Structure 1
């Protein structure tokens, strides 16, 4: 008598005791369209290629590891685990540990922005905050306005959410508020994303009057503002500018993002968002679905660090070292880049933006440059629209000044006469 069995819901008939005839497996369903439509990060791809220790890497936005307060962070973890291990290793609320939220709120209040602990949601890096905001605010087909060029991972987040991403024209001072107003009116955009202080990738800073104008446009036309501020504390010179969130008209429509990645350590994966109550609650729901909560032990260690150490003094030491490295890069660029190139002089942050003569394509040139054991990020991926292929981003904080000088020598050799 034949054996009758079911394999994957399909009836298979085989001879008694004999092996069943092989059944061809059906292909698995395809991936979601949002994943196949969005490319991976060229920055992450470049980092994988340039991880060799001999490479001078101007590509990654990597804080200098030798400047981490390793002992201070280690002591914070030791104290937390010694005094409250049960709490530190336990589940926590989605919104974040109250002691850390209050410490973050106090830092905003000290800088003139009224903030309570309940205004803050702790996230697993500020990148997660951006993802939560996209989940909470963006439906497929919604228009999201961004700077031109724009932080690359923000473009990924909004595109994964199904947004139609549109770049707002600007100049060396940043976004043009008049162009922003015209685009909001024409496209009925839902939100505008900006890194107004020491922007990634350009390093530029939006002047105070334009910040006020952006807030006024949002209030007048109905627009969410996502103000990303991972670099603002890394100021080398000049006066600190008020956040857009502090300007009249922006109070009830701005999500302000912060992070410990650039001022403490990126491996902690600690960020946060300060937002109006309704938006904050929506982001908390999205976070519940994403990861329940940010690791408790990391939150408590950060709060303990803020209580025991002087973070502002640490940041001042880091900023002084970064200023020296920026100056080393600025001093070497005239000999490293082709004649006719231009670049900016950021007042802080981590990045410098350069443009080569129009005959140069920095994407096509990158493999030749990497052969010289140095790397940068081509500018093209940072554009939501038509890219400027002669541009590139240089990170000046990861290497010491002497390494920067050697890296620029290699860069000049790799760029050569162009293509």
Structure 2
């Protein structure tokens, strides 16, 4: 029997009732409004994309491979691209990573979904940083885990808290962003990386090390990955989205063989394989361009914008508003005085013509009311100047 239009009852999976509310739709909506300067998103600067270089790589793929580039391929990914990633692990970080330990993904965001899919059952514990990346929280939440979050000190996750959670919760994995964390912008110290590795090594808890921003340190120097100390317990995801182009959707994960085998099966069921044409274009681009020099240029630009934004925060905003000091990446975080709520700042900011990201979605508990995240990578210096002046008017009004 047909239902009158608009009256059908849809039987969604029960996980849809437990997902955290998504702020992203609202964020994208307001960020697209003309004349709004957005510090709310997480975009790299499109003006720094090497359009001509990518175009030449695309043409080279068609000239050299033709229809082969338009065919199905293996689930693990295009071998020449995995070999390049393997070589860069050694040249950048001194890590010996076999290409067979690498799986190509549709952006590193897919790694979040597939990792939770293969490792967690409902109510299994996952540890995350506090605050944590909202994209990870949303991806993991589909599999109905139980979250615990670890507070940071000045060097990274608090080791005493981590040890307590490992002993009391028996977590499946600990998800962290040691380099230029999203949303805080903070970076773990070398000492803390070793401490985290040592604590985890005494358990069967895996480390998921998200390295989305590891190539964007303003000083151009790489930091030692935690995976160096945990090769058999470490998963490490990476991405070309922040340094070449997010639209190509090329990310990857490095994992121990048994984990990667399960990961491969889950990916095959999800999408068979990542876009072969994009993988081949990326390979051609990396072979014919100096990506290290280009990455240093991008990181230096972001460093200039970060310093400008911090200068304006300190010049224009009240001393009662505190900020993090990133050494890389694309974000910093403000902590507001107790009388000010992040959603009020967001709502008044839209009226003033500037968008910010309230901290609430980055917390699995009731945190975030007093924090906002600011993105400095996607705005020009002129836009940062104007946007921060608008934000200052919001703060003064509130």
Bin for the TM-score computed over the shorter chain: over 0.9
Partners of 2:300 and 2:5 in 1: how far apart?
65
Report what 1:207 is aligned to: 189
* 3-state SS of 1:272 partner: strand
Report what 1:53 is aligned to: 34
Report what 1:148 is aligned to: 130
Q: Which residues in structure 2 correspond to 1:64-75 (within 5 Å)?
A: 64-75=45-56
* C-alpha contact (below 8 Å) 1:168/1:176 kept by paired residues: yes
Q: Which residues in structure 2 correspond to 1:261-300 (within 5 Å)?
A: 261-300=241-280
* C-alpha contact (below 8 Å) 2:342/2:359 kept by paired residues: yes
Pair 1:345 & 2:294 matched: no
* 3-state SS of 1:123 partner: strand
* C-alpha contact (below 8 Å) 2:212/2:242 kept by paired residues: yes
Q: Which residues in structure 2 correspond to 1:239-388 (within 5 Å)?
A: 239-247=221-229, 250-388=230-368
Q: Given the two structures, how large is their TM-score scaled by the length of structure 1?
A: 0.91
Partners of 1:136 and 1:54 in 2: how far apart?
44
* C-alpha contact (below 8 Å) 2:107/2:252 kept by paired residues: yes
Larger of the two Rg values belongs to structure = 1
Partners of 1:203 and 1:235 in 2: how far apart?
11
C-alpha spacing 1:107/1:29, structure 2 compared with 1 (3 Å):
same
* 3-state SS of 1:202 partner: coil
Partners of 1:40 and 1:306 in 2: how far apart?
39
Pair 1:189 & 2:171 matched: yes
Shift, 1:238, TM fit: 7.5
* 3-state SS of 2:20 partner: coil
* C-alpha contact (below 8 Å) 2:129/2:176 kept by paired residues: yes
C-alpha spacing 1:265/1:25, structure 2 compared with 1 (3 Å):
closer
Partners of 2:22 and 2:85 in 1: how far apart?
30
Shift, 1:139, TM fit: 0.8
Shift, 1:82, TM fit: 1.6
Report what 1:121 is aligned to: 103
Report what 1:14 is aligned to: none
Report what 2:80 is aligned to: 99
1:220 to 197, 202, 206: 202
* 3-state SS of 1:392 partner: strand
* 3-state SS of 2:366 partner: coil
C-alpha spacing 1:360/1:24, structure 2 compared with 1 (3 Å):
closer
> Unpaired runs of 5+ in structure 1?
1-6, 9-21
* C-alpha contact (below 8 Å) 1:268/1:298 kept by paired residues: yes
Partners of 2:21 and 2:65 in 1: how far apart?
40
Partners of 1:25 and 1:334 in 2: how far apart?
53
Partners of 2:271 and 2:316 in 1: how far apart?
45
C-alpha spacing 1:64/1:211, structure 2 compared with 1 (3 Å):
same
Partners of 2:300 and 2:336 in 1: how far apart?
29
Structure 1 residues 278-328: Cα deviation after superposition (integer angstroms, max 9, x where no partner): 100101111011111001000000011111111111111111111111111
Partners of 1:212 and 1:174 in 2: how far apart?
11
> Unpaired runs of 5+ in structure 2?
none
Shift, 1:195, TM fit: 0.4
Partners of 2:121 and 2:328 in 1: how far apart?
35
Q: Given the two structures, how large is their TM-score scaled by the length of structure 2?
A: 0.96
* 3-state SS of 1:359 partner: coil
Partners of 1:276 and 1:202 in 2: how far apart?
29
1:76 to 50, 57, 62: 57
C-alpha spacing 1:23/1:218, structure 2 compared with 1 (3 Å):
closer
Shift, 1:128, TM fit: 0.2
1:180 to 146, 158, 162: 162
Partners of 2:44 and 2:34 in 1: how far apart?
16
* C-alpha contact (below 8 Å) 1:368/1:414 kept by paired residues: yes
Report what 1:35 is aligned to: 16
Shift, 1:150, TM fit: 0.1
* C-alpha contact (below 8 Å) 2:178/2:187 kept by paired residues: yes
Partners of 2:202 and 2:181 in 1: how far apart?
25
